[in-house]
C-alpha cells in the first residue's frame, strides 16, 4: 500500500511533545496538506514524536492509515515532517508562500525510512540588508529545506552609534555606505531568536567588526594601539596585539557588543576585510604571523565574551592572509575556526587532487588547521561562497558536481558545520539558486 498528499490531507495530526519545533512540525504538516486536500479522504493519523536529543536524524514509518514521524530531537522531528512533505510532492524552491511548489509524485510506499544529515549544523548566511529585511521568509525557507542555522552577516559592516534613520532612497543608501544589521537586530533581535527557537535553529551574528570595536578615532590619543607598518603607527587596519590598552578596550567593547546583540550562539568579530598587510611589525608582534596576531585578538575577544555571554562562542577567521595555521597561538575553549577559502578554485572540488591551486594554497593549510584542532573537529566551520553574487556576480556556474563533491570532502575531513554565503537574491537562477542546492548537499552529498 502507499499514501499520497491528497489521501492523507484529512488525517488527524498528533504529537507526544510540547516542544515548539514539534508543534511547528504539526502546524506545517497541517498547512501544507490543506493545500491539496481532497474531499472524502480516508481517516488516519500522523503522529509526530521527538526524543529529547540533539541529533537532527529522524525515522518515518508509513502504514495504510498511520504515519509516525520520530525525531532523535525536536528539530529531527521537524526535519522528518519536511522530508515527508517532500516525498509527497512539496518543494520550497524560493522563499515566501509563492515559492511553495507542489506536483503529485508517485505515491509513497509503506515502509520505514531513516535519514541522518552529513553535517550536524547546516547554515544559510544572510549576507546583506536586503536579506535581513526579509528574515522571516528566509528563516522559514531555510528551515523547510532542513537547514538548522541562520547567520546574520553584514556586508558592508554596520556602524555603531548612528542616530539618523536608515535612508530609504538608493542614492542616500549608497552615500551612507554601511550595513544596517545593528539597527535590524535592535528592532527584531528578540523576534528572530524566538522564531529560530520555534524551529530548533541556532543563530550566528557578525562580520568584520574588530575595527568596529576599536574605532580608528582612538588613534589620536592612543597611536600605540594600532599596527606599526613601515616604521610608523598606522590607524587604518586591525590593532597591535602587544598593546595591553588596545586589548583591554577591545574586550570591553566585545562584552558590550554581545550584550547588545544577544541571542546568537556564535559571534563573528573578524579583522578588517583586506587581502593582507594589516598586521603589526612592532618588536613583540614581528615574531607573530598574521594568523597568530589574528588568533591572539580573537582569544582576547573570546575571553570577554565568555564572561558576558556564557555558552556563546567566537569565530577565528581563516581567510586571506590568515588561511595559514598560526604557529604559536592556540584557540581558546570557546573559539571556533571559520575556514573561508574565498580565492579557491570552484572549477574543481575542494578536495580534488587534480587542482594544483586548491591543493597547494588551500588543502595544505586546511589540513594544518585540522591538525591544530586535534580530535575536537566540532570547532571547525566552513564558510563557503556558492551563493555570493559579489564573488560570482550574476553568472555563477552551476556547481552541480563541485558542491556535492565539496560536501563529501568536508564531511570526510570531519567538518561539522557547512555554511553558504548568500549576497544578492536576484536573479534566482544565478548564484542564489545554490542556496537550495547547498541545503540538499549539506544533508546528503552522496
Cell of 60: 518515518
CA torsion angle 264 266 271 273 (round to 10): -80
- CB nearer Zn ion, residue 212 or residue 293: 293
What sign results for the dihedral spanned by CA atoms 312, 316, 318, 323? negative
Cell 511548489 sits at which residue? Answer: 101
Q: Which helix (H) or strand (E) holds 281?
A: none
- CB nearer Zn ion, residue 22 or residue 250: 250
**Shortest Cβ distance from residue 253 to Zn ion (Å)?**
19
Which DSSP string corresponds to 319-342? -GGG-SPPSS----TTEEEEE--T
**Shortest Cβ distance from residue 168 to Zn ion (Å)?**
43
Judged by the rule CB under 5 A, the positions of this chain that interact with Zn ion are 240, 242, 280, 282, 285, 345, 347-348, 355
- CB nearer Zn ion, residue 351 or residue 441: 351
- CB nearer Zn ion, residue 106 or residue 354: 354
- For residue 377, CA distances in Å to 164, 269, 413 come to 44, 21, 9
**Shortest Cβ distance from residue 345 to Zn ion (Å)?**
3
**Shortest Cβ distance from residue 444 to Zn ion (Å)?**
25
Q: What residues contact 399, with CB distance under 8 A and at least 6 apart?
A: 346, 386, 406, 434, 437
**Shortest Cβ distance from residue 426 to Zn ion (Å)?**
28
Cell of 201: 535553529
User: Whose CA is closest to 92, among 37, 141, 51?
Assistant: 141
d(CA 278, CA 438): 33
- CB nearer Zn ion, residue 267 or residue 346: 346
CA torsion angle 225 231 237 238 (round to 10): -40
**Shortest Cβ distance from residue 340 to Zn ion (Å)?**
18
**Shortest Cβ distance from residue 94 to Zn ion (Å)?**
31
- CB nearer Zn ion, residue 134 or residue 281: 281
- CB nearer Zn ion, residue 89 or residue 341: 341
Amino acid at each position: 500500500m502507499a499514501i499520497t498528499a491528497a489521501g492523507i490531507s484529512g488525517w488527524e495530526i498528533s504529537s507526544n511533545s510540547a516542544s515548539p519545533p514539534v508543534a511547528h512540525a504539526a502546524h506545517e504538516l497541517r498547512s501544507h496538506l490543506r493545500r491539496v486536500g481532497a474531499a472524502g479522504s480516508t481517516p488516519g493519523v500522523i503522529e509526530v514524536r521527538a526524543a529529547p536529543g540533539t541529533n537532527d536524524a529522524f525515522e518515518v514509518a508509513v502504514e495504510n492509515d498511520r504515519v509516525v514521524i520520530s525525531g532523535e530531537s525536536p528539530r529531527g522531528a521537524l526535519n522528518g515532517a519536511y522530508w515527508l512533505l517532500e516525498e509527497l510532492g512539496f518543494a520550497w524552491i524560493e522563499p515566501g508562500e509563492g515559492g511553495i511548489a507542489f506536483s503529485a509524485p508517485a505515491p509513497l510506499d509503506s515502509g520505514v525510512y531513516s535519514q541522518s544529515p552529513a553535517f550536524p549544523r547546516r547554515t544559510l548566511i544572510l549576507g546583506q540588508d536586503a536579506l535581513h529585511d526579509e528574515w522571516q521568509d528566509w528563516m522559514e525557507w531555510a528551515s523547510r529545506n532542513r537547514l538548522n542555522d541562520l547567520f546574520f552577516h553584514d556586508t558592508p559592516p554596520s556602524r555603531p552609534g548612528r542616530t539618523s534613520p536608515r535612508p530609504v532612497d538608493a542614492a542616500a543608501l549608497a552615500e551612507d555606505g554601511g550595513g544596517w544589521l545593528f539597527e535590524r537586530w535592535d528592532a527584531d533581535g528578540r523576534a528572530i531568536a524566538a522564531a529560530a527557537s520555534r524551529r530548533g535553529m541556532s543563530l550566528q551574528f557578525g562580520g568584520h567588526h574588530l575595527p568596529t570595536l576599536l574605532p580608528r578615532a582612538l588613534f589620536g590619543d592612543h597611536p600605540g594601539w594600532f599596527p606599526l607598518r613601515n616604521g610608523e603607527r598606522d590607524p587604518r587596519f586591525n590593532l597591535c596585539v602587544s598593546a595591553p590598552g588596545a586589548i583591554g578596550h577591545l574586550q570591553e567593547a566585545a562584552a558590550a557588543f554581545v550584550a547588545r546583540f544577544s541571542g546568537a550562539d556564535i559571534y563573528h568579530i573578524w579583522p578588517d576585510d583586506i587581502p593582507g598587510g594589516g598586521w603589526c611589525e612592532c618588536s613583540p608582534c614581528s615574531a607573530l604571523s598574521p594568523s597568530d596576531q589574528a588568533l591572539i585578538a580573537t582569544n582576547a575577544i573570546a575571553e570577554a565574551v565568555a564572561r558576558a555571554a556564557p555558552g556563546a562562542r567566537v569565530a577565528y577567521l581563516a581567510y586571506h592572509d590568515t588561511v595559514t595555521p598560526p604557529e604559536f597561538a592556540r584557540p581558546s575553549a570557546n573559539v571556533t575556526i571559520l575556514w573561508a577559502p574565498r580565492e579557491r578554485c570552484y572549477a574543481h572540488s575542494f578536495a580534488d587532487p587534480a587542482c594544483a591551486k586548491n591543493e597547494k594554497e588551500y588543502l595544505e593549510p586546511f589540513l594544518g588547521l585540522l591538525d591544530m584542532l586535534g580530535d575536537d573537529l566540532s570547532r571547525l566551520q566552513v564558510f563557503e561562497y556558492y551563493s555570493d553574487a559579489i564573488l560570482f556576480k550574476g553568472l555563477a556556474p552551476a556547481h552541480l558536481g563541485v558542491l556535492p563533491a565539496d560536501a563529501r570532502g568536508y564531511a570526510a575531513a570531519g567538518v561539522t558545520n557547512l555554511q553558504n554565503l548568500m549576497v544578492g537574491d536576484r536573479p534566482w537562477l544565478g548564484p542564489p539558486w545554490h542556496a537550495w542546492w547547498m541545503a540538499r548537499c549539506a544533508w546528503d552529498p552522496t
